[in-house]
Structure 1
Amino acid sequence: MANDLQKDALNLAHSVVMGVAGTAPTFSIAATMVTLIGAVGVLAPASLLYCGLIMFGITFAYLHLNRLEANAGASYAWVSRIFNRTLGFFAGWTLLVASTLFMVSATIPAGNATLLLFWPRLVNDQLAVTLVSMGWLAAVSLVVIRGISLTGTVQTVMTAVELAILLLLTVVAALKFAPAALHRLTWADLAPTAFDPGSFASGAIIALYFFWGWDVALNLNEETRDSARLPGLGAAVAMIIITAAFTAFAAIVLLALGDDEIRQASTNVIFTVADKLFPRPWSYLAVLALMLSTIGTLETSILQFTRTMFAKSRDGALHRRWARLHSQWRSPYGATLLIAGLGCLLLVLSLLFQGVGEVLKASINVIGVQVAYYYGLAGFACAWNFRRRAGRSLADLVLMVIWPGLSATALWIAAVLAVRRFDTPTALIAIGGILLGLIPLRANRKPRP
């Protein structure tokens, strides 16, 4: 049909790759690991492990809800169907806001990595980082407009190279630093009792930023073969891979780097580890992995934004213009240009902050709360919708009701506790970004045609 996304363009392998690339392992470590260790110290691996277990509950929710309805709007469509259109609207709106803010926190590490590789004397120049970041955002947006087939192929190659480099760094660092670790790690550090409520909430919200993005596999369901089954399966496999990768590398950073080295590393923590493992230029493999990861996560974040906006516009929840597709490439080109423009605007505004680190810290906290909100809505929707099937088997009870419901509850509690610890501007952006959706909600509230 004239207004359909490209059908059967992706397979199971693509779904796994998209799920992994959506979380951007190397990028997430580079952008967020220092913030996480600064918040919870040696409990960083445990924060990532427990957040991964929480996230599996949401993954199961997406898997089962996708079987109910394969819709590019994902959480927006499911929450609208199970609860009501208002809650569904805000599930989709929150993803749109978080994706837009992510354009800042995603492109800045790419700008840093590029300057480190080619113009190292400018790596601490915030204006130079911003300009290079804008260049990356424009380039990736053009690739996404060219359609999902090209994007899927490029993404597969980039993700394979990225994971190979990350695995190499992990193995070599473990062999070299385990006998003389700079931080002593014990099994007790993985126990839930090692956390108090405040530290668990802080760690969970920051760790959530690591995991956010795997659900892009479900936003691409209309473009995937066997759309009701394969996207959910791909997301589950991706979650296993990324939980192992994040937990392991958090331990590696603590083993290999001292406190001063971690603080000074900022968004270059992977390169700092690589520099202690390999002589230059081989340590620049870490920079290559970061650049590939950043390109990958920019692509998947733009895909999530545009597919969610496409689905909402198709339903009349937003203006119909955002549902228009390119006649040849079958991509929502207008929505792609919109997020690219908004991302560039936010990058310019980020110059008002004092340094790259402050920009990243603020955006990570805001996005973590917003993601907790819409993931939580999907978890509750799954538990409520399948509650009557819970008596059929223990597996259905656990995977469709208990685990998704508990995960959603944990995410919302962590978000509330985290917001209470934010400074006022960060809290206002996190909550205000969601409430801003009241404007388009009222403007577009009309009967379905």
Structure 2
Amino acid sequence: MRTSTPKGLQPNVLGTFDTVVMAVAGSAPAYSLAATTAFLTGAVGFAAPAALLYCAIPMLGIVLAFSRLGRIDVNAGAGYSWVGRTLHPFLGFLSGWALVVAATIFMVAGSLPAGQLTLSLIAPSLADETGPATAVGAGWFLVMLLVVLGGARLTVRAQLIMTGVELLILLLFVLGALMHRGSAAAFDWSWFGFGHFDGVSGFASGALIAAFCYWGWDVTSNLSEETRDSRRTAGLAALIGVGVVFLLFEAFTVSVNVILSSGAITAGGAHVLALLGDTIWPGAGGRLMVLAVVLSTVATLETTLIQVTRSLFAMGRDRTMPAALGTVHRRWNTPWVAIAVVGAVALALFVAATTLGSVGDILGKAVHAMGLQIAFYYGLAGVAAVVAYRRTLLASVRDFLLGGVWPLFGAAFMFWVFVEALGELSDTSVAIGLGGLAAGVVPMLWYWRRGSAYYRPARLDAAQALAAAEPYAVPRQRRGGAGSGEPLATDF
């Protein structure tokens, strides 16, 4: 007997531990440190630990916003659905579009270093050649594309191996840094203060890079339709994931400040972690650290693919993008059309990227452009959480602080960084960042004119969801799109 095509993603595939692993892998500690340490040091000098610290505080406000919104609307589109149902559908679409653009850019910004670093392990003479690095990076990308196509369970099994080994290597070198003798600079608590920033604009530039470092933990929200007890699990996993990567970021930026000179950091570029590893453990240290960065890069390619394909799936399901994107594979329960489209676009970008210069040049421009996109959609989610819970904020001091003040502070910080950074970044980074966002206006207006139900949303209101929820209610799998009006909440 022929079975019909499933209407949705497969529910209850991931547990709490699985989702925590995905959150850590999404932020990609080793890759983020390798990709940004030289840029962050160039922007703020010894204040790199401070930039990561002061970005973490408002970032936790955004984590709280995602957690609270996920409790009243389980949707693979996450911010795309929440912002559309609280602020305005146009802003919701652009929020989802910003994630799609940032993730698509990352396909190049992540795959090229993966290819370069892999070559540095097996064929060092080819590591600095953009062409071979592009080819190997594309190979890694295709492998991860197939893993994501195979379903959430296969995806998390791959993550357990890659992220587990990565974290073990990083912890080994944290211990090595503590025991290392000899230093380029003595540790100073002022590295966590504001004294080393070059004014407000310098702080904003550092914060934009730091925002990119943390980006990726919200993959837990995009996986919510496939997670057990996701109304609680997705937010908890994101909080734990951000805490883990924050500690690693601080440990390594302090180690870099102490052990390496500023000149060595700048000269090291994307290889700064390998340089640090070789300094701590001459000989094998550098290669081990390169292995950690390769694993981290490949792991975050996988989580980013999940984010962009689940977002496109939600858009296709809501008919705000071609409906085919909402098609789910009959066997694997994955949005296979969205995965195929992302794969084709990314491979085209790989070819185009070879004309933009070296891997380092491409990475620098991409990090800043993605930072703008990230600040935009994180800021909108922070505001959406406050609006959704506006009628419950005065119920207690806890609700007021955790549901109102902190998410709103996080949103204000993200928007401030977005505006301040526009005057500091290169024309190329601004053009990629804003141009990519502006390109979303075309499909937004097209499908709005065609009458997508997404643009006539059922309003998302936490007070109504709380009133409707019953302690014994059984969670239901969301079957509609953002306009389906099913904001059932069972675990607050």
- Normalising by structure 2, report the TM-score: 0.89
Q: CA deviation at 1:239?
A: 1.0
Q: CA deviation at 1:354?
A: 2.7
Q: Secondary structure at the match of 2:9?
A: coil
Q: Partner of 2:264 in structure 1?
A: 261
Please identify, of 183-192 and 168-177, the stretch whose mean Cα deviation from structure 2 is larger. 183-192
On the 8 A contact 1:10/1:224 being kept in 2, the answer is yes
> Quick one: distance in 2 between partners of 1:282 and 1:162?
14
Q: Partner of 1:112 in structure 2?
A: 116
Among 406, 410, 413, the alignment partner of 2:413 is 410
On the 8 A contact 2:6/2:329 being kept in 1, the answer is no
Is the aligned partner of 1:327 residue 2:333?
A: no
Partner deviation per Cα, 1:97-139 (whole Å, 9 max, x = no partner): 0000011111121111111100001111111111111111111
Q: CA deviation at 1:194?
A: 4.5
> Quick one: distance in 2 between partners of 1:362 and 1:402?
33
On the 8 A contact 2:376/2:414 being kept in 1, the answer is yes
Is the aligned partner of 1:305 residue 2:308?
A: yes
Partner deviation per Cα, 1:383-434 (whole Å, 9 max, x = no partner): 1221221211111111111111011111111111111112222212111110
Among 451, 454, 462, the alignment partner of 1:447 is 451
Partner deviation per Cα, 1:212-243 (whole Å, 9 max, x = no partner): 00000110000000021111111111111111
Is the aligned partner of 1:373 residue 2:381?
A: no
Please identify, of 184-193 and 266-275, the stretch whose mean Cα deviation from structure 2 is larger. 184-193
> Quick one: distance in 1 between partners of 2:442 and 2:11?
33
Q: Partner of 2:43 in structure 1?
A: 39
Q: Secondary structure at the match of 2:230?
A: coil
Among 66, 71, 78, the alignment partner of 2:75 is 71
Among 190, 200, 204, the alignment partner of 2:203 is 200
Q: Partner of 1:280 in structure 2?
A: 283
Please identify, of 25-34 and 280-289, the stretch whose mean Cα deviation from structure 2 is larger. 280-289
Q: Secondary structure at the match of 1:249?
A: helix
Among 175, 186, 189, the alignment partner of 1:187 is 189
On the 8 A contact 1:31/1:105 being kept in 2, the answer is no
> Quick one: distance in 1 between partners of 2:252 and 2:342?
31
Cα-Cα RMSD: 1.3
Q: Secondary structure at the match of 1:329?
A: coil
> Quick one: distance in 2 between partners of 1:80 and 1:23?
25
On the 8 A contact 2:113/2:359 being kept in 1, the answer is no
Q: Matched residue pairs, number?
A: 447
Q: CA deviation at 1:356?
A: 1.4
Among 14, 18, 23, the alignment partner of 2:18 is 14
On the 8 A contact 1:141/1:302 being kept in 2, the answer is yes
Q: Partner of 2:475 in structure 1?
A: none
Q: Secondary structure at the match of 1:400?
A: helix
Q: CA deviation at 1:448?
A: 3.9
Q: Secondary structure at the match of 1:7?
A: coil
Q: Partner of 1:83 in structure 2?
A: 87
Q: Secondary structure at the match of 1:213?
A: coil
Q: CA deviation at 1:188?
A: 2.0
On the 8 A contact 1:324/1:333 being kept in 2, the answer is yes
Q: CA deviation at 1:181?
A: 2.5
Q: Amino acid of the residue matched to residue 158 of structure 2?
A: V
On the 8 A contact 2:105/2:370 being kept in 1, the answer is yes
Partner deviation per Cα, 1:38-84 (whole Å, 9 max, x = no partner): 11110001101111111100000000000011111000010011112
Q: Partner of 2:462 in structure 1?
A: none
Q: CA deviation at 1:189?
A: 2.3
On the 8 A contact 1:42/1:183 being kept in 2, the answer is no
Partner deviation per Cα, 1:225-264 (whole Å, 9 max, x = no partner): 0021111111111111111111111111111211232122
> Quick one: distance in 2 between partners of 1:448 and 1:108?
38
On the 8 A contact 1:105/1:364 being kept in 2, the answer is yes
> Quick one: distance in 2 between partners of 1:183 and 1:71?
48
Please identify, of 404-413 and 336-345, the stretch whose mean Cα deviation from structure 2 is larger. 336-345
On the 8 A contact 2:279/2:285 being kept in 1, the answer is no
Among 244, 248, 251, the alignment partner of 1:248 is 251
Is the aligned partner of 1:130 residue 2:134?
A: yes
Among 415, 418, 422, the alignment partner of 1:419 is 422
Partner deviation per Cα, 1:165-219 (whole Å, 9 max, x = no partner): 1011111112204xx3313442122124543211110000011110000000110
Among 165, 171, 179, the alignment partner of 2:169 is 165
Query: Cα–Cα, structure 1 residues 189 and 14, in superposed 2: closer, same or farther, change >3 Å?
Result: same
Please identify, of 50-59 and 274-283, the stretch whose mean Cα deviation from structure 2 is larger. 274-283
Q: CA deviation at 1:282?
A: 5.0
> Quick one: distance in 1 between partners of 2:350 and 2:170?
28
On the 8 A contact 2:149/2:334 being kept in 1, the answer is yes
On the 8 A contact 1:30/1:109 being kept in 2, the answer is no
> Quick one: distance in 1 between partners of 2:149 and 2:231?
25
> Quick one: distance in 2 between partners of 1:183 and 1:439?
52
Q: CA deviation at 1:297?
A: 0.2
Please list every run of 5 or more consecutive structure 1 residues that lacks an aligned counterpart in the other structure: none
> Quick one: distance in 1 between partners of 2:210 and 2:285?
29
Query: Cα–Cα, structure 1 residues 430 and 327, in superposed 2: closer, same or farther, change >3 Å?
Result: same
Q: CA deviation at 1:353?
A: 2.2
Q: Partner of 1:228 in structure 2?
A: 231
Q: Partner of 1:49 in structure 2?
A: 53
Q: Which has the larger radius of gyration?
A: 2
Q: Partner of 1:429 in structure 2?
A: 432
Among 23, 29, 33, the alignment partner of 1:29 is 33
On the 8 A contact 2:41/2:262 being kept in 1, the answer is no
> Quick one: distance in 1 between partners of 2:288 and 2:196?
35
Please list every run of 5 or more consecutive structure 2 residues that lacks an aligned counterpart in the other structure: 454-492
Q: Secondary structure at the match of 2:334?
A: coil
Q: Secondary structure at the match of 1:228?
A: helix
The alignment-based identity, stated in percent, is: 38
Q: Partner of 2:341 in structure 1?
A: 338
Q: CA deviation at 1:265?
A: 1.4
Q: Secondary structure at the match of 1:421?
A: coil
Is the aligned partner of 1:144 residue 2:144?
A: no
